[in-house]
Structure 1
Amino acid sequence: MTLNPLKQVALLTLMLCGLAPLRAQTVAYSGANKPVADQVVAAVGNKIVLESELENQLSQARQQQVQLPPDAKCFFLQQMLANKALVLQAERDSLPVTDDEVNAQLEQRLRYFIGQYGSQEKMEEVTGRSVYQIRDEFREPIREGLLAQAMQSKIFEGVKITPSEVKDYFDKIPKDSLLFYESEVEVGQIVLNPKPSPSVVQYTIDQLNDLKKQAESGQKSFEVLATIYSKDVATGGNVLTVDRTQHNFDPDFVAAAFRLKNGEISSVTKTQFGYHIIQMVSRQGDIAKVRHILLIPPITQIDLDRTIKKLDSLRTDIVEGKTTFGVAAAKNSDDDNVMTGTKRSGGMFTAQDGSTYLPIDQLDKGIVLMLDTLKVGEISAPVTFTPDPRMQNSSVRIVYLKSRSEPHRENLQDDYSKIQDRALQEKQYKALMKWYDEHMPSFYLRVDPQYADCPSIGDWVKKSQSAKD
């Protein structure tokens, strides 16, 4: 396998613990958006792996921008077989996983998806499935995930790392291979979006209704109207491809689009970006091609000043200790994008691994400029900025600098916890690989011939067959 042990453990953890995408259908899709013929590609005992499941794992990893090896299918199939083996052993050992635990995980996952879509009704509408169907679909995978985690915990329970082992691990790293840490910061923001007056909102809605009438009457084509009037300057009158199994678009936009027939134009639809009318160009299953006209109710200086005053008052409460930055962000911030927003993390920016420590070059330029004048522990005055240049709408934010580190070469004094984590992960990985070597021969193992050349999988199959002979 091409990934190093630590990345293998990280990806295995992703598979065991990560939230799989909620798809509108359980079939995998090829690059041409056509269904992939499903088949059993491998089995461990009575646990099977389907081609669609393998494709879905690859898709999930790509969405999360996980760096994949060249033999990605082999790698993920190996991890899926390994996961099934953990489940089987957990069942053999009667490791306790209760219905209450499964139900708790199931409800947590449902709350996550409902949060992504905005409401239970919107989730059901966009996915085409009721909440009861979704519960049925996820119950067994969640149970297996909990069993696999329980088995892995049992394997790891005796794996500890001592300070001397951490030092030995660090000393074995070639000096020219020691990581160099650029300056890292812990930084957060609270964002408020100015609200336009009701009269301005109604004027915008009336404009869109008039444009809809023009398109439906044939005065002008929807494409021409979109090119002239839409504030989404990146698309104009161009066709957008919307896959409702992904989460790249606002859920209200997706729901409105998939209610349409070919050529039909939606009523005015509100999203986080503004107000739209949408035209369905064509649709095939979960893939739709649409055009839209976006209008954004203009914000007046009065609206902006009102928002600045509100955020400045909130900043004063934080500075005076009446509330904390995290609580204030959770209650007030409008930065609530499911994938990139800071509201759910107490206002703090986070890396893909969940860490709040970020290199400065991963922050937007506006925040980088603000950090030049902020000391650790300080909160900036409210400033206006443009979250999405395509939409040209202004928001207001305050920025909190929690901590800052200086650039340095990795060392035990400054980076002990990071080195300790890597050393422990390596030791856990070795324990896990030893467990697989000892236990895989005890399971019935079958793999489709197309994956027979996958190195580690082939070794497991040979050992399993030898144990049966």
Structure 2
Amino acid sequence: MKRINGVRFAILVTAAIMIMSGIAASSEVIDEISAVVGDYVILKSEVDFQAQLYAMQQQQRLSPEESAELKEQLLEQMVNDKLILVKALKDTSITVSSDQIEEALDLKLQELKSRFSSQSEFENQMRTEGLTYRELKTKFREEMRNQLYKDKLISRELAKVTISPTELQTFFGRYKDSLPLQPEAVKLAHILLRVTASQATIDSARVKAYSIKGMLDAGADFEQLAKEYSDDPSAADGGDLGYFGKGDLVPEFENVAFALPIGDVSDVVGTQYGFHIIKCIDKQGDRVRCQHILCMAKATDSDKAAIIRFADSLRSLAEGGADFGELVKEYSVDEETKKQGGELGWFVTSDLTPEFAKAIGGLNVGDISPPTESQFGIHVLKVLDRQKSRTWSIDEDRERLKDLARRQKTETVVASLLAEIRSETYVDIR
């Protein structure tokens, strides 16, 4: 994995804090306000930093005129984002559970940590930047909650967008001469297997947790054991999670944490993350501050190898005549594609991930790939169809043309939604 340097880390983490929490880089600096949307304030420093981040990602050096234009566009996007959030939070039919927030939070933090060569490098850089893991996690948690609310509102509105046969004919007649050639593409289905810890690995983590609990019962220091044994990034802070309220963490953890008297240490608590030992440090109103030691049941290389062997056995079954769709229903963990026989849809060949491109390279329609690993797990891919580069046809490309027409109509729907929200929300762009 490519090593990340301190400057890059600072940019990533500062972006996380400024962009995601909506605050300035330092509360000690007097900042200018660029816009007010309802109860939300967008600071000039946020817009400036968004522009810097964009330029860095695009590896561009912008002229003053280009920079000013970019900042204007970014501010408009940020205002629209806040408008959607205002609407979503007011909508009582939209709900987001603590489990959904924690899952989204974990994915975001895993993505950040994956940019480092090791967990210790991540923790060292955090300390260099003067941040604790719990501070970063707290800021990300609020943004993940907000993002889920916005996503649910947008998904609901977009589900209403349909394209009639007449609308499709009109769209094709208007744009067929300007549509680019259809690129080379492939239609795929998959069986997805998650790399999970074996029962032996889970049992080992449980035994480790009970062993640590025994040391605590014998008088060992909680903070020291957390630093030495915990698998959670909070280990660097002695397991200190800071203050949290109901709904911030998973229920199994919270139920124990809130029931503990100050100073007490829990028994071993199992959650989706592994086995915890929790110590209550303090309580303030409806919030509690705890330390914890986490013994994760992390899948080992041996566990992954076993999953790959099982995936290969499914491939052999399919090649031997077993129905791929039935194998999907029985074994795939991808709930979104199960009902469609594992169908993932069409992909432009040049846009495939290197892993997928390598797996299906040279495969014909109907062929099945060897097990292929991605960030989501282990895949067994089936090539359902292939297409060479060609012009568009309303008969052959009806569904894709529908998607294009729907995308155009969606832009109109979103613009209308934003105009409606703006008409009933205080907006001041300065």
TM-score (norm 1): 0.45
TM-score normalised by the chain length of structure 2: 0.48
